[in-house]
Structures are given as C-alpha cells and as structure tokens.
C-alpha cells in the first residue's frame, strides 16, 4: 500500500517554503522539510509567489492509497515577516473554526491540531534562524475546504467552515482499506511464527508509542497497529493461537469498542454519548454529570467533564467493556486486557488490573 502525507505535513512544508522566499528573496519549485516523525521529505510546490510583503506557497496533498476526502487538496501558506519575535498561526479560507469544547483546541481558533501547529512553527523557525526578522504571521488556507468538510463529521464536532489540519506523524497510512486488514493479519502471522505469546494491539502510531512505554519488556514485533480494525486483530490472534492480547488506545476509539464496535472508522461508527452517560450512571455519577456527558461534544470532552467533576472509574469500566466485547468476538481462547491512555501517554484505566 502506498502511504501519503497529512494536511499538517503539507501545510508545514508550504509555510517553510514561503518563509524561505521572504528571508532569502528567492523563488522555489520545491522544499525539503522535516515531518513530525523526523523523516526528511521534499515536496514539490504547486504555487510560489510574492505579493508585496508576503509570500504565498502551496503543496498539493497526496493521501497515497487512503480514500481521504482531502486527497488532492491544495494547502496554502501565506507568510508575512515581522520584527517582533513569535510565530502566529492563523486559519484562512477552508480551514475550520473551533466552536465547541472537547477537541483540545482553543474555541474561536483555527482547527489546526497541536502536532501540525508545532511542525509549522518549527519549520518556519528554521528559516528565521539567523535572519533579521524575529517572527512571522502564517495563514493556512485550503481552497474548497468547506466543501470537503461535508464528507466528514466536522460540523457535528463544532468544526465549522472547512477541514481540520491534522496528523501526528506526517504520514497517512491507508487504514480504511481491505489491504490494511490484510497487513494486520500478516503482522500477527509473523509474530505468531516467531513464537510471540503476547501481542499489543494499538489504534495508531501515538498509542503504539505509549504502549511500548507501558510494556518495555516486549519486542517491537509484539506491537501491531490494527488501526480501526480491532475485530480483525483479536479474531486473527485467536486464529493463530496467540494466548494473550492487550488493546491500547485513547478515549475515542476505546469508547467505540466498549459499545461493541469492532470496526471503529469514523464513517462506520461514532462515539455514543448516551452509552457513555449510561456507564457514568452505572457508577452512580451525579445526575448533572450524566446529563453533561449525554450532551458532550466528543469522547475527549467526556474525559474532561469527568476530570472536572473528580469522577473516577469510567475509564476502567470502558476497558472492562472493551475486554468483554473482544473476548466475545475472538472466543474464549484469547485472554484480553485493555488499557486506556490519555493524549500524553498517561495510563488512565486498565482491565483487568493484572494480566490473566
């Protein structure tokens, strides 16, 4: 399967190119940039021009073999230098504005996620190093972004007016294809053939990174990124007679699994706030908190609400439900444990507490 690049990686490359145009008074046809995973990549520029004191550069997103609605989108960065220090990032046309809590982003600000934001600032900062200018204003735009967003759940999440600028590694992997399912099974096959008795199934690159910190005694091949296909993963572990599997993920994906969703892609399932409210009720949460959870924007928002109310236990109950559904899906031969981590890798819940 052919990988691609995230909107965040493309935006950072375009911003770096525009800044270089201004700092060095030159025009470019391509730009080498560093992805969040520290890989160096050269992007061709679709646009490179000067308009008075500003430079405008763009990159066309190639999503690889992932059926992504932003494939072919033009990520435009407009940069204007300033003498005072600091890099300000703004959202232009086609980039969503955040209107609801629970996304880890400032309400009223652009929907540019933290990792892409850091990547943009780092790449612009590299070009400003040693220059007479101390800072820059960077505006990211995506022509047609508002139309693209209609194919996503952005509006339901309160992300209005365009798409989100996303990506934790800079690389798009084709998680939502049949071929990815085959690659998951292949990884499990290899681990089984190597005599691994315990596999850790993660929902993506970040959760895998955190899982490796939780289980440092396990070799790298014991970790399998199952993406959205947890059902495929646990069932194939059972088929290959792997004795034990540990599922590691964050609040959103594990909430779906806890509700019995063994395929967690956004197009196929959504987080059920009524279900999460029922879990809170099962734990005798205050009625006010239960009502707030029922109206929450995202699973992350639920986590924030529970933290604010000093209400503990829901994360471990989610893990318990995940284990129950995975065992039902895979059969009794597979021992399953589930761990819920936060967005910084801290362990928030685990079931069972001790591996069976």
Is the pLDDT at 238 greater than 70, yes or no?
A: yes
Q: Is the pTM of this model over 0.85?
A: no
- Which string of DSSP letters, residue by residue, matches 96-132? PEE-SSSSSS-TTSB-B-HHHHHHHHHHHHHHHTTSS
pLDDT digits (tens, 9 = 90+) for 285-342: 999 999 999 999 999 999 999 999 999 899 999 999 999 999 999 998 999 999 999 9
| Low-confidence winner among 138-142, 153-157, 275-279 (lowest mean pLDDT) | 153-157
Identify the weakest region by mean pLDDT among 97-106, 216-225, 345-354.
Answer: 97-106
- Predicted pLDDT of residue 268: 56
pLDDT digits (tens, 9 = 90+) for 46-98: 999 999 999 999 999 998 877 778 999 999 999 999 999 999 999 999 999 99
Q: Alpha-carbon Rg of the chain, whole angstroms?
A: 22
**Is the confidence at residue 274, as pLDDT, over 60?**
yes
Spans of all domains in the chain: 4-172, 178-351
Contact between 140 and 165 (Cβ < 8 Å)? yes
Mean pLDDT value across residues 115-119:
96
Q: What pLDDT, on the 0 to 100 scale, is given for residue 110?
A: 97
d(CA 5, CA 68): 11
| The pLDDT of residue 247 | 98
Strand partners, 60: 74
pLDDT of residue 101: 83
Q: Which of 268, 273, 11 is nearest to 153 (CA)?
A: 268
CA distances from 301 to 32, 97, 148, 156 (A): 37, 17, 25, 13
pLDDT mean across residues, the chain:
92
- What is 4-172's CATH number? 3.30.2110.10
Match 């089984």 to its residue by tokens. Answer: 192
Tens-place pLDDT, residues 168-213: 888 887 665 666 787 789 889 989 988 999 999 999 888 999 999 9
Residue, of 190 and 12, whose pLDDT is higher = 12
* pLDDT average, residue stretch 126-146: 95
Closest CA to 70 of 162, 180, 179, 177: 162
């Amino acid at each position: 399967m052919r990988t691609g690049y995230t909107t965040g990686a493309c935006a950072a490359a375009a911003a770096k190119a525009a800044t270089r145009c201004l700092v060095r008074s030159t025009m470019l046809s391509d730009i080498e940039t560093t992805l969040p995973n520290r890989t160096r990549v050269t992007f061709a520029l679709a646009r490179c021009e000067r308009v008075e004191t500003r430079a405008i550069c763009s990159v066309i997103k190639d999503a690889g073999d992932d059926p992504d609605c932003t494939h072919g989108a033009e990520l435009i960065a407009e940069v204007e230098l300033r003498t005072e220090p600091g890099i300000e990032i703004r959202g232009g046309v086609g980039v969503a504005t955040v209107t609801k809590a629970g996304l880890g982003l400032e309400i009223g600000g652009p929907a540019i996620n933290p990792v892409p934001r850091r990547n943009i600032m780092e790449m612009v900062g590299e070009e400003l190093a040693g220059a007479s200018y101390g800072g820059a204003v960077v505006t990211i735009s995506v022509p047609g972004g508002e139309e693209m967003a209609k194919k996503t759940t952005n509006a339901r999440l309160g992300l209005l007016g365009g798409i989100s600028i996303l990506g934790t590694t800079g690389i798009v992997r084709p998680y939502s294809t049949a071929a990815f399912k085959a690659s998951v099974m292949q990884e499990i096959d290899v681990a089984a053939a190597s005599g691994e008795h315990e596999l850790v199934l993660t929902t993506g690159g970040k959760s895998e990174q955190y899982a490796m910190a939780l289980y440092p005694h396990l070799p790298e091949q014991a970790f399998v990124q199952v993406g959205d296909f947890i059902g495929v993963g646990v069932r194939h572990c059972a088929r290959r007679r792997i004795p034990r599997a540990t599922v590691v993920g964050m609040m959103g994906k594990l909430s779906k699994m806890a509700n019995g969703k063994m395929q967690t892609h956004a197009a196929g399932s959504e987080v059920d706030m009524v279900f999460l409210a029922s879990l809170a009720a099962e734990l005798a949460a205050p009625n006010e908190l239960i009502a707030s959870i029922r109206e929450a924007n995202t699973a992350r928002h639920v986590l924030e609400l529970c933290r604010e109310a000093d209400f503990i236990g829901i994360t471990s109950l989610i893990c318990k439900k995940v284990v129950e559904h995975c065992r039902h899906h895979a059969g009794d031969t597979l021992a399953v444990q589930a761990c819920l981590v936060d967005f910084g890798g801290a362990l928030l819940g685990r079931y069972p507490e001790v591996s069976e």
